[in-house]
């Protein structure tokens, strides 16, 4: 039986022509996003040859430099020799799985934003991946547009972080992983008081308010642009429980996450 991914690959020449057309239309935006950042390549790690080829051709059509690896060990070797901006990492692979590979990437100093690729999407997996340091999770099969939109969002966040105060930028980039001011102080070598003072000075918000604002911005994008259920969005946005997420979201937006999504869909 032909899988959904194989069907997508069978139509890849047509999809690639479409992607190239879209790439030319959006290239000025892409250039603005990447001009102030090192032009590092994207690494695709998956034991499925067809998926690696699919991702590689789509991303190259959008103008990205792409490296590929079929196993986690190969990815670790490549990451030790190259400075990647983004790593697309399969969750289930022979031998070392994606979670362990992610841990080792972080341990060896890889600074790339890591997106987990999975056909086994569930909340426990998302929780573990986010705790280890994944920036996002994408479920197979996915369309070229979905892949590019996700990467553009990550690149835009990277670009925004470049020009801002390092403490504020760190919170924006790592909001889903930060538990307290201590996490930031330890990572950046500053005092707890400096973290609070900087956030207040730059944003006018308390540390906790700003952290929640960053998480809610991500949650709103997911509500607007995906079909993920609210519980999974809560996890991806860095909240421990869906109840806490719903309370914080409703307090800021005046409506529940579900109602917010319905209103956005009705308006569009």
More confident residue, 124 or 241: 241
* Domains of the chain listed by start with CATH number: 4-160 (3.40.50.2300), 164-267 (1.10.10.60)
Interatomic CA distance for residues 15 and 224, integer angstroms: 24
Q: Write the pLDDT tens digit of every residue in 78-97.
A: 998 888 989 999 988 999 99
Rounded mean pLDDT, 117-146: 78
Tell me what the pLDDT averaged over the chain comes to.
81
CA distance 183 to 172: 14
> SS in 3 state form for 32-76?
HHHCCCCCCCEEEECCCHHHHHHHHHHHHHCCCCEEEECCHHHHH
At which residue do the structure tokens 């835009």 appear? 156
Instruction: Give how far the C-alpha of residue 86 lies from the chain's centroid of Cα atoms, to the nearest Å.
Output: 9
Please list, in sequence order, all residues whose beta carbon lies within 8 angstroms of the beta carbon of residue 122, skipping any fewer than 6 positions away: none
| 231, two tokens | 């519980």
pLDDT at 134: 86
Q: What angle do CA 28, 157, 197 make, to 5 degrees?
A: 135
Give 107 or 11, the one with higher predicted confidence: 107
pLDDT at 112: 87
Distance between CA atoms of 216 and 48, rounded to whole angstroms? 34
Residue 116 in 3-state DSSP?
Answer: strand
Stretch 199-228: mean pLDDT, rounded?
A: 89
pLDDT of 22 above 50: no
Query: For residue 47, how many other CB atoms are within 10 A of its CB?
Result: 15
Look up the pTM and report it: 0.55
DSSP letter at 163 equals T
Q: Is the pLDDT of residue 120 over 70?
A: no
Residue 67: beta bridge partners?
43
Q: Percentage of residues in the chain with pLDDT exceeding 90?
A: 45
């Amino acid at each position: 039986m032909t899988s959904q991914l194989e069907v997508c690959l069978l139509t890849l020449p047509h999809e690639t022509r479409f992607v190239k057309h879209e790439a030319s239309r959006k290239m000025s935006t892409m250039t603005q996003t990447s001009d102030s950042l090192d032009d590092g390549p994207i690494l695709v790690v998956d034991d499925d040859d067809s998926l690696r080829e699919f991702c590689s051709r789509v991303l190259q059509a959008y103008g990205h430099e792409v490296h590929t690896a079929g196993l986690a060990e190969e990815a670790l070797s490549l990451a030790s020799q190259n400075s990647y901006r983004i790593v697309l990492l399969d969750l289930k692979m022979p031998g070392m799985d994606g979670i362990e590979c992610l841990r080792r990437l972080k341990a060896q100093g890889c600074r790339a934003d890591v997106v987990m690729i999975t056909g086994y999407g569930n909340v426990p997996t998302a929780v573990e991946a986010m705790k280890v340091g994944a920036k996002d999770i994408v479920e197979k099969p996915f369309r070229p547009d979905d892949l590019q939109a996700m990467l553009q969002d990550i690149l835009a966040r990277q670009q925004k972080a470049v020009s801002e105060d390092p403490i504020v930028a760190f919170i924006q980039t790592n909001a889903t992983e930060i538990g307290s001011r201590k996490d930031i102080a330890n990572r950046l070598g500053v005092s707890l008081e400096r973290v609070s003072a900087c956030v207040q000075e730059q944003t006018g918000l308390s540390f906790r308010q700003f952290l929640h604002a960053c998480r809610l911005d991500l949650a709103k994008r997911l509500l607007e642009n995906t079909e993920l259920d609210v519980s999974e969005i809560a996890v991806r946005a860095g909240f421990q429980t869906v109840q806490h997420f719903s309370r914080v979201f409703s307090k800021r937006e005046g409506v529940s996450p579900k109602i917010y999504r319905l209103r956005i869909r009705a308006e569009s």
